Amino acid sequence: MEITWLGHSGFRIAIEQAVLLVDPWLTGNPMFPQAQREKALEGATHVLLTHAHGDHAADAAAIAKEKGIAVCCIHEVSEWLNAEGGCETIGFGKGGTLALNGAKVTMVNATHSASIDFTGRGLLPAGSAAGFMISGEGHTIYVSGDTDIMADMEWMAELHQPDIGILCCGGHYTMDMARAAWAARKYFNFRWVIPCHHRTFPLLAQDTSELRSGLPAGVSLIEHEVMDPITW
């Protein structure tokens, strides 16, 4: 299994026979090296979207059409992307599980706003924000999406037992470093935590030391650079 950060909240997750592009915002992403776009998309089998804000979803339709793959996301966004973006989609809902080339992807709750904000036509309604539990190769990855702490994390952790947490932590729009660490201590039994939705813009947190110091003993914080894969 291999996880590669694409900058901001984007990840490339190679698990089982799937290569999942999670929130692959590449165009205009100041953290992503555009010269490595082909490498980032190589072998992709599916796009996963946590929600429709442009810093997560603006490239989804173009990537899906380029690679001939489907975008998997909440129903309302899938309908819009299919009709307006002209790409193949798989719409599902919270509690739903997709079998994707040997990996299992369950949509779970997140607490965040949700709209399509990148068309130049104002804000369009787009279902609600979500996270994912991605299971395969003996691991379960919790992708928090954009969220704050929520009580749902308790049952999500107990039911899915994720050992890897990809947690938003930049603050302002999502939980910050201290709140992400508190959630990890309170609800989860992670072995590894990967921070995201930070460093991209000056408004977001740049330093993860507060997250690192707040994690329980024995939990490793993985701070890898963009396009530097981590292998399990």
Which domain CATH number covers 156? 3.60.15.10
232 lies in some domain: no
228 lies in some domain: no
Determine the average pLDDT of the residues in 211-217: 97
Q: Which range (31-45, 87-101, 116-130, 190-204) has the least confidence? A: 116-130
93 lies in some domain: yes
Beta bridge partners of 130: 109
52 lies in some domain: yes
pLDDT tens-digit map of 150-187: 999 999 999 999 999 999 999 999 999 999 999 999 99
96 lies in some domain: yes
Q: Does 10 score more than 90 pLDDT?
A: yes
**Dist CA 79 CA 103 (whole Å):** 24
Domain hosting residue 42, numbered range: 2-223
If one counts the domains in the chain, the total is: 1
pLDDT of res. 132: 99
Confidence of residue 100 (pLDDT cuts 50, 70, 90): very high
pLDDT of res. 87: 98
Could you give the C-alpha distances from 77 to 39, 61, 166, 185, in angstroms and in order? 27, 11, 22, 33
- Long-range CB contacts (within 8 A, 24+) of 115-124: 115/52, 115/53, 116/52, 116/57, 116/77, 116/80, 117/52, 117/53, 117/54, 118/53, 118/54, 118/57, 118/58, 119/84, 124/80
229 lies in some domain: no
pLDDT of res. 224: 87
Q: Provide the residue type at 124 as one letter.
A: L
Confidence of residue 111 (pLDDT cuts 50, 70, 90): very high
100 lies in some domain: yes
pTM: 0.98
pLDDT of res. 39: 98
